[in-house]
Structure 1
Amino acid sequence: MADVGPNGGPDDLEYAAEVFGEVRPRLFGIAYRMLGSAAEAEDLVQDVWVRWQTCDRAVVENPEAFLTTVATRLSINVVQSARVRRETYVGPWLPEPVDTSADPHLGAERGEALEFAVLILLERLSPKERAAYVLREAFDYPYGQIAQIIQLTEPAVRQLVSRARKHVVDGRRTEASSAEQRRLLTAFVAAARAGDLEALEKILAADVISYSDGGGIVRASRIPVVGALRVARYHRAFASRFWDGVEVEFAEVNGRTSALLSSGGHMFAVLTVTASDRGIDQVLWMMNPSKITAAQPAS
């Protein structure tokens, strides 16, 4: 280790760790919104840490800007390769749920691009559109700095953000309040558990879609179920065998209430809904065991 003064300096790994630790929540927040995967975001943040350790920190004038740039550019690369992998994913792919009870904004100045409905829509954007949207909407970065990070002109970045905003707005209905979303989720769990067809139909939007992400590891529908009657019948069909012995705990996941389903003390699914003034628009079953661990509230 190079000699450092009493207050540490760029060549001091202790200093480097302290700087990195301050920025780390933001790096994870960027990576998670970009990738929709807590596990991949953690791996990416570790990669940023390795690069921070081995770079010439003496020439880095703004460590936060440097680390954000590295994290964003790595995220863009991972998104490009992840899209290829997801083409062979078994069944619907849903974002990994994360516990946000301790940090409702997950490292951001505001909670944008964290809810499932938005993350699903962001999957359709190009990697650079997604990066520009996340940096601007969730972290309020100036357009000029975003341009430097993703290596485009400022007018090009403004266009990317505008296009991404339009896509997100056009893809969403008037969103239900947090209280209404929780009420509908609670009502859905009760009706699904009872196999109550009429109660299910009453709270579902006419064009509701039910997605089940089992990743081919656990039994789950490999195609989305569409329409209020079909979704209601689908959930009634497995009610008697699925819910026996299941314990339900409600928790804050991705900034909204979700139901954590457990059996024998083991959490096996995260269930949530996205809702609007028309009722429940989406039912999201996240059951892939490798993707739900980050939703477990810290004890």
Structure 2
Amino acid sequence: MMHDEPESPRTDDDLASAAAVFADSRRRLFGIAYRMLGSVADAEDVVQEAWIRWQGVDRRGVVEPAAFLARQLVSRARKHLATGRRAEVAASEQRRLLDAFLLAAQRGMSRLSKRSSPTMW
């Protein structure tokens, strides 16, 4: 989308205005994120990401800031869920493999201790 006028540099007033709008929506955004993610830490992360994104947006074209922020947050929460599940699956697979390795090592050690004399291969 082309603008006829050049974009003016951001001012401290712009950031203060953005912070005020975000602060008004923050509690609602956290509630949405927490319900989606089920974790205070994950919800805080996603809300923080929404704040970072909000700072860089050209807010002149945003008609309904609360709706825009909610939509951005939901999108980020969905991405978080998708990558989190993959990480969780990978972590559980690593735990399963580690448990299998430790069990095999434990069995091997008990077999060695039962032998009366070491054997050479």
Where on the TM-score scale, by shorter chain, does this alignment land: which range? Answer: 0.5 to 0.7
- The separation in 2 between residues aligned to 1:79 and 1:57, in whole angstroms, is 27
Deviation at residue 73 of structure 1 after TM alignment: 0.7
**How far 1:25 sits from its partner (Å)?**
0.7
* CA RMSD in angstroms, aligned pairs only: 2.1
Matches for 1:228-247 after TM superposition, within 5 Å = none
Equivalent residue for 1:20? 22
The answer for the alignment partner of 1:61 in structure 2 is 63
Amino acid aligned to 1:76? R
Comparing both structures, which one devotes a greater share of its residues to strand? 1
The aligned counterpart of 1:38 is 40
The alignment's TM-score, normalised by the length of structure 1, stands at: 0.27
Relative to 1, partners in 2 of residues 1:36 and 1:58: Cα closer, same or farther, differing over 3 Å? same
Alpha-carbon offset, residue 2 of structure 1: 4.0
Partner of 1:76: 78
Displacement of 1:78: 0.8
Q: What runs of 5+ residues in structure 2 fail to find an aligned partner?
A: 1-8, 96-121
Higher relative contact order (Cα pairs below 8 Å, separated by 6+ residues): 2
Cα deviation, residue 37, structure 1: 1.4
In the alignment of these two chains, the number of paired residues is 85
Aligned counterparts, 1:68-147, within 5 A: 68-87=70-89, 88-89=91-92
Correspondence list, 1:109-258, <5 A:
none
Question: Offset at 1:3?
Answer: 5.9
Going by fraction, where is helix more abundant, 1 or 2?
2
Instruction: State the one-letter code of the partner of 2:16.
Output: E
1:250 corresponding residue in structure 2: none
